[in-house]
Structure 1
Amino acid sequence: MSRRAFRPARHLPAAALLAALVPLSACGSDNTSTTASGGASGAATGASIACNGSGQLLGAGSTAQSNAIDIWKAAFGAACPNITVTYGGGGSGAGIQQFNQGKVAFAGSDAALQPSEINASKQVCTGGQAIDLPMVGGLISVVFNISGVDKLTLNGSTIAKIFDSQITKWNDPAITALNPGVTLPDAAIQAIHRSDDSGTTANLTAYLAQTSAGAWKYPPSKTWAGQGGQSAAGSAGVAAQVKQVNNSIGYVELSFAQTNNLKSAAISTGASQPVEATAANGAVTLSTAKVTGTGSDLALSIDYATTAPNAYPLTLVTYEIVCDKGNKAASLPALQSFLTYTISSPAQQAIGAKGYVPLPSEIASKVQTVIPTLS
């Protein structure tokens, strides 16, 4: 870490997906199948979960998917008490680093693996290498906190200039031109970006590189390159800062905007109307995502420059990074069980209710095919 309205019919029927969740051949001690109760999370009531393996399953990385992982852990843990899933945030960069050091069984990354990261993974994936498995669909909200302003429209150029300190006042002519009838204050903009290496940053900067007409002068990267502004760690940190600081702006995954009751800017894309930051509009864009990875790797290309009606361009996919071969025998059965559950239709719909975007069925079915082949 180079995608229409959300239509439930695009997903495989629940019966077909559940039929695909056959118990995996166990390499560990347990091989049972049970039903998740859903619990307080409401996740995947009635989902059949193959509980193979036992012990602790460790993951780390993307903070954008943290809320999704929390939902899934609750349902999976209720169904599979012999497996404890522990996930630490820290950002996509830190997660991939821990994975390539052999510290975790999977890493969450909002950006597909770079060639150097794949090469490094061969040291821990004996006889294989790390691959990208799309698991969490979402979108990046450009969140703002401006007194007296409830609605804001921005485009690629203005977002780039704001986060690079080229636009420094809220009543700058470039912003007011996009917001007729909105009274914007003569106040300094407090721009807040990620301090840690972040896949969310990589997706935002990829969008800016394609849509800012040259205003964003830096290559897409997990590491922040814009000038000025303040920084905060993780999606939660950025959300907290924007909520606290008046006249501020930041970028977080939609579920963090919703959890913190933050306002999100609409994006002017060239479509007839600015596009609001909603899961349904994010699904319009993700429905056009194409697999660009080879073999078992399912890295995706997203069309950040889309001008399709209702297509919210600032979308992302969080990948679970795993070994195609060379996974640790002690954790492989639990890893396959957990991933098989998270890509199921009930699990995807559960996080869809919390601001994420259920993956299109075409992508989900590809992931379901790969998981049993992990070794």
Structure 2
Amino acid sequence: MKIKRHTAALAVLAAGALVLAGCGSDQNAPAGGGNPALDSLQVECGTKTLSAEGSSAQKNAMDVFKRDYGLKCQGQQVNYTGSGSGRGVSQFVAGQIDFGGSDSALNEEKGEVAKAAERCQGNPAWNLPMVFGPVAISYNLPGVTDLTLTPDVIGKIFQGQITKWDDPAIKALNPNAQLPSIDIVPFFRSDESGTTENFQKYLTTATSGAWTGEGKTFQGGPGIGQGREGSDQVAQSVKATEGGFTYVEWSFAKNLGLGIAKIDSGAGPVELSTANIGKAIDGAQIEGQGNDLRVNLDSIYGNKAPGVYPVVLNTYEIVCSKGYDPDTLKAVKAFLTVAANANAQELESAGYVPLPEGFKTKVLDAVNAIS
């Protein structure tokens, strides 16, 4: 299946929302708060406070989701801890939370699929992608506001092969920049991270295999860089360090005002923008069976077309297809339905791209199928 691009560059969701047949509750209320998409939405709210944990990449989006959920289902809450994708998966399969957040789908080879099915009373767990978010290649370089890098240069920095900001390879890409002769100070995620996993997949594809690290644990050069737990600490460390450099979700880079490099994949520098992210996900494919909506990002990472910003990940909510108690079921479905219709402008301001309309319908069909 191809993801159809929204005609408004994916930035604005249609006001009309999917109405779940047969749903309704005396807890439904006009949404208010500037999100008309929720006004006509009917959900059966339930009464259970939900617990969730995982991806820090989606933490800021989750704040938007939770606010809209509280407006639609008045008094209802979701307690979400942004502890990292690895923690989200482990807590979900252990039955400690109602749904897990992850930047990558459950891994069958690592036994996550089987363990999740066991946790779901013998039923499969589904990976539901809720929001696309770009990864910013961020830096702290006073006086340099326009910086272009290539995948090869990015990889060599994290491998320790390029260590100074005025390295000839960087100067060749930025002939008009006043690059200081100071050390590059790379930061990376020290915890297991879906952001790291996707970033390393991108480097492997975009460098034609010159980067060999893989998985949720960062695999840079020996002794290169400093590890920090969570996206917030990584971004804060770059903010506090002249010469700092990292990969981090767009929301964190925007919120701290970090420099964001353009990426030249071979067709010229491309800035990180909603429109350029839209071009990147335009050809993405969905894999998996039925309502298990795994996004294949491999074709994005190697996309060298003009105007494509290719470093994109999507966050998943990992849920049981069946096996919840009745009140948890109501609350999970209500929250995910509201999340898919959350305030588009607030999501974009926080550094995310809301679900394209056609893709949103498929996600909502999967949410409605949870039983």
Partners in 2 of 1:334 and 1:43 — Cα distance? 21
Shift of 1:233: 1.3
Q: In structure 2, what residue type is equivalent to 1:98?
A: Q
Aligned length: 362
Q: Match of 1:359, SS? A: coil
Q: Match of 1:52, SS? A: coil
Q: Which residue of 2 aligns with 1:260?
A: 256
Residue pairs, 1:202-351, within 5 angstroms = 202-218=197-213, 220-227=214-221, 228-271=224-267, 273-302=268-297, 303-344=300-341, 346-351=342-347
Is contact 2:23–2:44 with CA below 8 Å preserved after alignment? no
1:199-233 Cα deviation digits (max 9, x unpaired)? 11111101000012333122x31111112100111
Tell me whether 5-14 or 118-127 shows the greater mean CA deviation: 5-14
Q: Which residue of 2 aligns with 1:14?
A: 15
1:16-69 Cα deviation digits (max 9, x unpaired)? xx2x2336658xxx5543221127xx6956463524211211111111111111
Q: Which residue of 2 aligns with 1:107?
A: 100
Residue pairs, 1:87-236, within 5 angstroms = 87-115=80-108, 116-218=111-213, 220-227=214-221, 228-236=224-232
Q: In structure 2, what residue type is equivalent to 1:21?
A: V
Q: Match of 2:306, SS? A: coil
Is contact 2:23–2:43 with CA below 8 Å preserved after alignment? no
Q: TM-score, normalised by structure 1?
A: 0.90
1:106-164 Cα deviation digits (max 9, x unpaired)? 11111121102111112211131221101011100011001221111111111111112
Distance 1:236 1:47, change over 3 A: farther
Partners in 1 of 2:87 and 2:182 — Cα distance? 36
Is contact 1:137–1:357 with CA below 8 Å preserved after alignment? yes
Q: TM-score, normalised by structure 2?
A: 0.91
Shift of 1:12: 6.8
Partners in 2 of 1:174 and 1:163 — Cα distance? 14
Residue pairs, 1:360-371, within 5 angstroms = 360-371=356-367
Q: In structure 1, what residue type is equivalent to 2:73?
A: C
Distance 1:322 1:172, change over 3 A: same
Distance 1:203 1:256, change over 3 A: same
Partners in 2 of 1:225 and 1:329 — Cα distance? 43
Q: Is 2:346 the partner of 1:353? A: no
Q: Match of 1:50, SS? A: coil
| Unaligned stretches of 5+ residues in structure 1 | none
1:52-94 Cα deviation digits (max 9, x unpaired)? 2112111111111111111121121123124211100111111
Tell me whether 325-334 or 293-302 shows the greater mean CA deviation: 325-334
Partners in 2 of 1:274 and 1:328 — Cα distance? 51
Partners in 2 of 1:21 and 1:190 — Cα distance? 50
Q: Match of 2:251, SS? A: helix
Shift of 1:362: 2.5
Is contact 2:4–2:359 with CA below 8 Å preserved after alignment? no
1:174-218 Cα deviation digits (max 9, x unpaired)? 211211211212211100000111111111101000012333122
Q: Equivalent pairs: percent with the same residue?
A: 40
Shift of 1:317: 0.6
> Which consecutive segments of 4 or more residues in structure 1 shift more than 6 A?
3-6, 9-12
Distance 1:216 1:89, change over 3 A: same
Across the aligned residues of Structure 1 and Structure 2, the Cα RMSD in angstroms comes to: 2.2
Shift of 1:297: 0.5
Distance 1:327 1:31, change over 3 A: farther
Shift of 1:249: 0.3
Q: In structure 1, what residue type is equivalent to 2:288?
A: G
Q: In structure 2, what residue type is equivalent to 1:8?
A: A
